[in-house]
Amino acid sequence: MARWVGEHADDLADVIVAETGKARDDAVIAELGYTLQALAFWARRAPGWLADERVRWAGPALVGRRLSVRHVPLGLVGVIAPWNYPLANALGDVIPALTAGNAVLLKPSEHTPRTARLAADGLRACGLPDGVLEVVTGAGEAGAAVVDAVDMVMFTGSTATGRAVAERAGRRLIPASLELGGKDPMLVLADADLERAANTAVYYAMQNAGQTCLSIERVLVEDAVHDRFAALVAERVAALRTGRPGGLGAVDVGGLSAPGQIEIVEAHVADAVAQGAAVMCGGHRITGPGDLYAPTVLTSVTPAMRCMREETFGPLLPIMRVADVDEAVAVANDSPYGLAASVFTRSARRGEAVAARLEAGSVAVNDAMVFFAALDLPMGGWKDSGVGSRHGIGGIRKYTRAQSVVAASRLPRRDLHTYPYRAWRTRLLLSALRRLSAPRRGRPRLAAPGRRSPGR
């Protein structure tokens, strides 16, 4: 399949661009690049991560027995994919689900069905048996029907829809893995490399026209470097080329992909300006075909503004001045979302310490969004940003059931703890359990209730 993707890269990019309006470079780098990486990754990791596991016995009742864990396919997995990455998000979940031994019902967004169909055609052309992967098109009713038909559902989309999916799955007692909305903060400390921070902020806020769950959606900058940082960002954003996608390198920022998305961006900008925010660049639609919005930078923003609290999912970057790192952490955490975050400081150790204070499932220090390419690491949201994770060992084992197996060939006809009970045998078992559970020499013992612990 990886070879097929490489051979059909132009065809895939054509369909992705036609359905989404994203820059062709975004389609190639983010969509095709991730898909090729994921195909290679799961092919390499899956055999070890899905193999039966031997477990050491942990008690006298298990002497002579062999313990193991099997990872059994769930059966039929439903993947409900979003419109912003119709190839990467769809195949990114389909690949590990299939690799774990399941059949898959893929329900792409009603705005981007052709990309999913082409990818499914590719898998069948590579030898995937008929009926193992089926594409179900349609809007919300189709998604609900998928949830009602499968043994597990993987959903990527808005928090509101994710709640409905989880509730529907809960009624059937099937597992649901959910990657939902985000309002990902970027913290810029006074000792940061401002050139690096500004370049990163511009790219990861505007890439794919800001339509990425992991996009930088708000920046919190210490007062000492706020003005310089904001000027660097605005200068770079103003130079971005926005327009209808053409060939590679034709534009930097494409259009908004889903109906109504541009109105959300306009509403967030209007709300911020009405409350005193300053537009450093952009702040308006671009006339012409397609939903094009000029990449926008806002300053003088406050935490109460919609652009700082609600997911924008567009080419908008609000920059807020904070007094110090403590205020930055407090504002970053004052959100119902907890998908991702980033911290910029010249000290990686300090950055990691700040990262540990942030309520987010993934944090990058002096970088952003790269954790999505770190496929060995789990990637999932905290709070209203989701349940479960993709990638890492859990990203494929979630598509299986764990079966514990205890087996033995040669055992006595009757175990010591079974009927008929005898006082001497029970006392013998209790004595053995006490010895096995006693602290090892050199470790402190627990004090008896009501007594002080002995000194060392």
Q: What is the distance between the alpha carbons of residues 281 and 294, in angstroms, rounded to a whole number? A: 8
User: How far apart are alpha carbons 422 and 181 in whole angstroms?
Assistant: 61
Q: Which residues pair with 278 in a beta bridge?
A: 299
Give the position of tokens 């370049």: 199
**Residue 213 appears among annotated catalytic residues:** yes
Contact 214, 372 (CB under 8 A): yes
Distance of alpha carbon 211 from its chain centroid, rounded?
A: 14
The neighbouring-strand residues paired with 176 are 153
**Which amino acid is it at 339?**
L
> What does DSSP assign to residue 258?
S
Name the H helices within 215-339.
Answer: 223-238, 261-274, 306-309, 325-333
- Give, for 363, the enclosing helix (H) or strand (E): strand 362-365
Please check whether residue 103 is in contact with residue 74, taking contact to mean a CB–CB distance below 8 angstroms.
no
Residue of 19, 31, 213, 217 with catalytic role: 213
Can 179 be counted among the known catalytic residues? yes
Tokens of residue 267, six digits: 């509403």
Q: Are 187 and 344 in contact (CB under 8 A)?
A: yes
- Amino acid at site 138: G
Distances (CA, A) of 38 to 74, 99, 335: 21, 11, 31
Classified as helix, coil or strand, 106 is: strand
Candidate list 19, 31, 179, 311, residue with the active-site label:
179
Residue pair 1/91 in contact (Cβ under 8 Å)? The answer is no
How far is it, in rounded angstroms, from Cα 82 to Cα 310? 19
C-alpha–C-alpha distance, residues 79 and 61, integer Å: 42
Looking up tokens 């998000």, which residue turns up? 89
DSSP letters spanning 116-176:
HHHHHHHHHHTTPPTTSEEE---SHHHHHHHHHH-SEEEEES-HHHHHHHHHHHHHHT--E
Q: What is the DSSP string of 390-435?
A: BSTTHHHHTTEEEEEEEE-S---SS-TTSSSP-HHHHHHHHHHHHH
| Catalytic center residues | 179, 213
